[in-house]
Amino acid sequence: MSEINTELDNSQTFDAAQITESAEAGEQKLPTVDVSADYEASKEFSVSDIDRTSAGAEAAAAATAPKFEIPAPQEIPMPADASGNPADFLSMAKEINPAGVPGNVTDDLVQKAIELGTPGS
Please give the chain's pLDDT, 121 residues, in tens: 556 666 665 556 788 888 888 888 888 887 788 899 989 888 878 777 788 788 888 888 889 988 888 888 898 887 776 777 777 777 777 787 766 666 677 788 888 888 888 665 5
Tally of CA atoms within 13 A in the half-sphere of 33 that contains its CB = 2
Cα gap 121→111, rounded to integer Å: 17
pLDDT at 49: 79
Helices vs strands, H then E, count in the chain:
5, 0
Query: 75 with 81: CB under 8 angstroms?
Result: no
pLDDT at 101: 62
The type of residue at 17 is: A
- Cα–Cα distances (Å) from 10 to 6, 13, 16, 20, 46, in that order, read 12, 5, 10, 15, 37
pLDDT at 1: 52
Q: State the CB neighbour count (10 A cutoff) for residue 110.
A: 10
